[in-house]
């Protein structure tokens, strides 16, 4: 049993329990910047995903995501990433991590 990410309060007043810890782990890695975690300064993505992103930045983010997921999470054996622009300023990442689907939206202002 694992506490859900992001942390939230359940209906009974306790902390929410994750329905899918592996997906929560992937989201945590995406939401964490380098040096944000004191004990693990190399955990996370080294890009500021809220700055304007060029195609090169997007390619670099995908490469870092692949490397970081396989480095930090033992359940990851294969990563596939597709991108799509959803609205003005929003980039969608469709991830398939070891056969599991994860969807994230990144602000691209």
pLDDT of residue 99: 57
16 in Cβ contact with 3 (< 8 Å): yes
User: What is the greatest pairwise CA distance in the chain?
Assistant: 46
Give the predicted TM-score (pTM) of the model: 0.68
Nearest C-alpha neighbor of 102 from the set 55, 65, 52? 65
70 - beta bridge partners?
Answer: none
Instruction: From first to last of the 109 residues of the chain, give the pLDDT tens digit.
Output: 677 766 778 888 888 887 777 778 888 888 888 888 889 998 888 766 566 667 777 788 788 888 888 888 887 877 887 777 777 667 777 777 775 666 555 544 4
Task: Please tell us whether the domain made up of 21-107 is placed in CATH 3.10.450.40.
Answer: yes
Residue ranges of domains in the chain: 21-107
pLDDT of residue 24: 81
């Amino acid at each position: 049993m694992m506490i859900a990410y992001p942390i939230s309060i359940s209906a009974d007043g306790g902390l929410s329990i994750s329905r899918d810890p592996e997906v929560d782990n992937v989201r945590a890695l995406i939401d964490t910047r380098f040096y944000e975690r004191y004990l693990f300064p190399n955990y996370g993505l080294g890009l500021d995903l809220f700055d304007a992103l060029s195609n090169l930045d997007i390619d670099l983010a995908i490469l870092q995501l692949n490397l970081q997921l396989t480095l930090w999470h033992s359940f990851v054996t294969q990563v596939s990433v597709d991108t799509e622009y959803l609205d003005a300023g929003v980039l969608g990442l469709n991830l398939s991590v070891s056969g599991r689907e994860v969807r994230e939206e990144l602000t691209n202002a």
